[in-house]
């Protein structure tokens, strides 16, 4: 029996594949390389000294998805695949709704057809919207302020409805905060196309000279240094959380939302300082206007993950930045 990892060549997906393989699990990876690179698959194999089946396919291609299930015994799915740029989702909302939601519907339909009814879904802290005061708890009201966030929220609701309609289904909705860092081997990490949307790849590209300076969006928030505060979590900690979610899903049914974060927030300028320390490079920055939809502070209450999974984050900001720099200096040039 294998675990299907959709979007398994991507940033979080690739690190989760490593953790699954090193835990002795068999995996099947599906990816269309829309925001990932084929060589990542060979790097996963190099890190783990294990092989796995791969399908270059799109979740919108029902025939291809059904072929994956017909050719393999899939016991559960970790679902990462989806478009993920907030700004792009505002510009091309229909593409985001069609890709993320229709693709998930085809995946769920196929899973049911083949009797596979356990999913760990890659959700996001963006579902907490603008009005909740951190730390964010799973029982807080949800909302979304952009098409990307709405696709995450809609898929959560779709999976909840599915679990109500079919009591054999399990859906673990993992609400990520801000993944950063890279595998300690330096072989896999985040390699965004173009100018990154996320802070740390942006900082790394400035440190390597690929970009001239960092734009800091707003320095007048109600925070100690005026810059936004976020909960940064090491991608390896995040990946290990997926293994815990799989174990939990094996013995439970129904839908359950769980935060994956550290419970500690760092400001933009604190992160810049930590990265300068890790890299030995200066990161010049320019203050730019606030971005619409950014909140002053967002960080998790991670106690539910510890209670139900026995999981908690192990890495601090210094190690996150050190691991990211190890990857970035050789790959983000």
Q: Which of these, 225, 228, 227, 239, lies nearest to 323 by C-alpha position? A: 239
Is 148 a residue of the active site? yes
Q: Is the bond preceding residue 135 a cis peptide, omega within 30 degrees?
A: yes
Q: Residues 128, 148, 232, 266: which is the catalytic one?
A: 148
Paired strand residues for 118: 170
- The full 3-state SS of the chain, as one line of letters, equals CEEEEECCCCHHHHHHHHHHHHCCCCEEEEECCCCCCCHHHHHHHHHHCCCCEEEECCCCCHHHHHHHHHHCCEEEEEECCCCCCHHHHHHCHHHHHHHHHHHHHHHHHHHHHCCCCEEEEEEEHHHECCCCCCCECCCCCCECCCHHHHHHHHHHHHHHHHHHHCCCCEEEEEEECEEECCCCCCCCCCCCCCCCCCHHHHHHHHHCCCCCCEEEECCCCCCCCCCCEECEEEHHHHHHHHHHHHHHHHCCCEEEEEEECCCCCEEHHHHHHHHHHHHCCCCCEEEECCCCCCCCEECECCHHHHHHHCCCCCCCHHHHHHHHHHHHHHHCC
Please state whether beta strands 285-288 and 214-217 pair in parallel, antiparallel, or not at all (unpaired).
parallel
Give the catalytic positions in this structure.
Answer: 148
């Amino acid at each position: 029996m294998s675990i299907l990892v959709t979007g398994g060549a991507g940033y979080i997906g690739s690190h989760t594949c490593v953790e699954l393989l090193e835990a002795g699990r068999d995996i099947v990876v599906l990816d269309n390389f829309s925001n990932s690179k084929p060589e990542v698959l060979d790097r996963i194999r190099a890190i783990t000294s294990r092989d796995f089946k791969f399908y270059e396919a799109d979740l919108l291609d029902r025939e291809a998805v059904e072929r994956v299930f017909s050719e393999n015994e899939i016991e559960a799915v970790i679902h990462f695949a989806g478009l993920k740029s907030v700004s792009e989702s505002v510009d091309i909302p229909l593409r985001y709704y069609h890709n993320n939601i229709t693709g998930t519907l085809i995946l769920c339909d196929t899973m049911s057809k083949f009797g596979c009814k356990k999913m760990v879904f890659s959700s996001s802290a963006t579902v907490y919207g603008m009005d909740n005061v951190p730390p964010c708890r799973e029982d807080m009201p949800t909302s979304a302020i952009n098409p990307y966030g709405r696709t995450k929220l809609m898929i959560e609701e779709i999976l909840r409805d599915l679990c109500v309609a079919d009591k054999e289904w399990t859906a673990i909705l993992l609400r990520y905060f801000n993944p950063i860092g890279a595998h300690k081997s330096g072989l896999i990490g985040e390699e965004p196309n173009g100018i990154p949307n996320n802070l740390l790849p942006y900082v790394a590209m400035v440190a390597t000279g690929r970009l001239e300076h960092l734009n800091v969006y707003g320095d007048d928030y109600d925070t100690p240094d005026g810059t936004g505060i976020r909960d940064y979590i090491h991608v390896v900690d995040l990946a290990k959380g997926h293994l815990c979610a799989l174990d939990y899903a094996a013995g439970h049914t129904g839908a359950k939302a769980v935060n994956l974060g550290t419970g500690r927030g760092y400001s933009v300028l604190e992160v810049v300082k930590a990265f300068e320390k890790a890299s030995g490079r200066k990161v010049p920055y320019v203050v730019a206007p606030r971005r619409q939809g950014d909140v002053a502070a967002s960080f998790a209450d991670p106690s539910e993950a510890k209670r139900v999974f026995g999981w908690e984050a192990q890495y601090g900001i210094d190690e996150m930045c050190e691991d990211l720099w190890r990857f970035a200096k050789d790959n983000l040039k």
